[in-house]
Structure 1
Amino acid sequence: MDMSRTDPSPRILVVDDDPGIRDLVSDFLGKHGYLVETAGDGTEMERALSRQKPDLIILDVMLPGDDGLALCRKLAAQPDGPSIIMLSAMGEETDRIVGLELGADDYLPKPCNPRELLARVRAVLRRRQEPRPAEDTALGATCEFAGWRLDLVRRDLRSPDGVVINLSSGEFTLLRAFIDRPQRVLNRDQLLDLARGRDSDAYDRAIDVQISRLRRKLDDSAGEIIRTIRSEGYVFTPKVTRTA
């Protein structure tokens, strides 16, 4: 399907080397109102991305050439990149954690029920498209904490030295959850609700993984910004100031 057309429907790119799976997923999601394009490997994926940026990529782990994990790492490094759902025939928890570590928004083992995949697609896109609070719509609205600056409209994070730090959609949502509730202990269930939605099927280890990634982005290896409170959860320690 041509993804270059102007259409409000969300665009999805399915990257899998199995043509049967590509056709099944493409047809099923297409029947539910999505514009779907497919690719068989990383090279075809890059060609598709050069034509039109999708809202979400469904990415198989086992691919010829660059595997899905390597491709996920490249995609997650892009500013305002697409959301990513990874699929893996292995389905091991370690693979799931690695995928989340590299920037995936969700992870499903193969074979997966198409309806479950559809539910995950809807959940990930809903988080991506959630309207921002009214106070964030003012031009240049920013939050400052511990020398860092986060532009809530552009989703632009700058270090105390002025370096722009790329955040995935999941990392931004998690950081936003902390910024809105500074100096309060938040347990894993609360963070799952705030960052991934109440209907998310994510498990609490996913929050630990995302916090680990966010700490690396914030150069917070000592846990001075996001502090672990044993047996309770996490607390965002800096004072947060908002400016318009």
Structure 2
Amino acid sequence: MKRILIAEDQADIRNLLVLNLRSAGYEVTDVVDGLAALASETAQSNDLLILDLMMPGLDGLEVCKTLRARECNTPILMLTAKSTELDRVLGLELGADDYLTKPFSLAELLARVKALLRRSELLKAAQVAQTGAAPLRNGALSLLPSRRQAQMNDKDLDFTALEFDLLLHFMQHPGQVFSRSQLLSSVWGYSHDGYEHTVTTHINRLRAKLETDPLRPEMILTVRGAGYKMRDAPL
């Protein structure tokens, strides 16, 4: 049974999440603030963390930042009442895997939870399967999926979990065009109308780390009216 930790200071929301996640077959622990979340995750590792952005004492962003600094790779779903692009980008920068803006439907929450857990399992299986495999290369860029490592011109690159997965998807299909909804389905594991901007945010972040001039990208290319593709791998 998958274990989920919920950190949410609003009792009505917390109790609703606990009830529905337990009904869906998950083992659920709930806490009311960030310090309790850190203590709980330290005492017993979970399969997924659901963190409210705004909590007393230690907010969800600080919890996320602290856990990632400890090299904790547990998937994190951030809940936020804020909906600005800056808040979303900051959460992703600090290592959150996904976010939901309040109010949200329980059906969508359960879909996100299922997708994050499935992606985590697929990632673990892929790492085992790719142990010892040669790195993927495209020009000066190389990826070693089994170790979650990326280099450009032999210099290490730092990506969040979803950034790496998105880049890996492109590296595995050079030259192939993907729409934003296709990328949501293939990389995030879900497809919901209105969340295509999540893909755009991650594309921009990839370009900022990969491209000499992100405004004139040469690796992750926009195909007008169709989506995005990675350039064909140079010979």
Q: What is the TM-score with the length of structure 1 in the denominator?
A: 0.77
Residues 56 and 202 of structure 1: is their aligned pair in 2 closer, same or farther, counting only changes over 3 Å? farther
2:140 pairs with 1:147: yes
The separation in 1 between residues aligned to 2:117 and 2:40, in whole angstroms, is 19
The separation in 1 between residues aligned to 2:82 and 2:45, in whole angstroms, is 28
User: How far is 1:186 from its partner?
Assistant: 2.8
Q: Write the deviation string for residues 59-106 of structure 1: whole angstroms up to 9, x where unpaired.
A: 111112333234344545665612222212345566445544554333
Task: Report if aligned partners of 2:75, 2:116 keep a CA contact under 8 Å in 1.
Answer: yes
In structure 1, which of residues 6, 10, 16 is the aligned counterpart of residue 2 of structure 2?
10
| 1:216 alignment partner, SS class | helix
| 2:146 alignment partner, SS class | coil
User: How far is 1:13 from its partner?
Assistant: 1.3
2:128 pairs with 1:161: no
Residues 144 and 172 of structure 1: is their aligned pair in 2 closer, same or farther, counting only changes over 3 Å? same
Residues 110 and 83 of structure 1: is their aligned pair in 2 closer, same or farther, counting only changes over 3 Å? same
Query: Can you give the 5+ residue segments of structure 1 that lack an aligned partner in the other structure?
Result: 1-8
| 1:66 alignment partner, SS class | coil
The separation in 2 between residues aligned to 1:115 and 1:38, in whole angstroms, is 20
Residues 62 and 169 of structure 1: is their aligned pair in 2 closer, same or farther, counting only changes over 3 Å? same
Correspondence list, 1:1-244, <5 A = 9-75=1-67, 79=71, 81-91=73-83, 95-96=87-88, 98-100=90-92, 102-130=94-122, 137-141=129-133, 142-163=135-156, 165-197=157-189, 199-200=191-192, 203-218=195-210, 221-222=213-214, 223-237=217-231, 239=233
User: How far is 1:209 from its partner?
Assistant: 0.5
Query: Can you give the 5+ residue segments of structure 2 that lack an aligned partner in the other structure?
Result: none
Q: Write the deviation string for residues 182-240 of structure 1: whole angstroms up to 9, x where unpaired.
A: 12333323322322235455622111111122233435543222123444432212627
| 1:144 alignment partner, SS class | strand
RCO comparison, higher one (Cα < 8 Å, 6+): 1
Q: Write the deviation string for residues 107-147 of structure 1: whole angstroms up to 9, x where unpaired.
A: 22334343432222112212222378889814322212233
What corresponds to 1:4 in structure 2? Answer: none
Overall identity of the aligned pairs, in %: 39
The separation in 1 between residues aligned to 2:11 and 2:45, in whole angstroms, is 22
Q: Which amino acid aligns with 2:229?
A: V
Q: Which has the higher helix share?
A: 2
What corresponds to 1:6 in structure 2? Answer: none
Residues 208 and 18 of structure 1: is their aligned pair in 2 closer, same or farther, counting only changes over 3 Å? same
Q: CA RMSD in A?
A: 3.2
Task: Report if aligned partners of 1:144, 1:240 keep a CA contact under 8 Å in 2.
Answer: no
Task: Report if aligned partners of 1:76, 1:103 keep a CA contact under 8 Å in 2.
Answer: yes
Q: What is the TM-score with the length of structure 2 in the denominator?
A: 0.79
The separation in 1 between residues aligned to 2:141 and 2:71, in whole angstroms, is 18
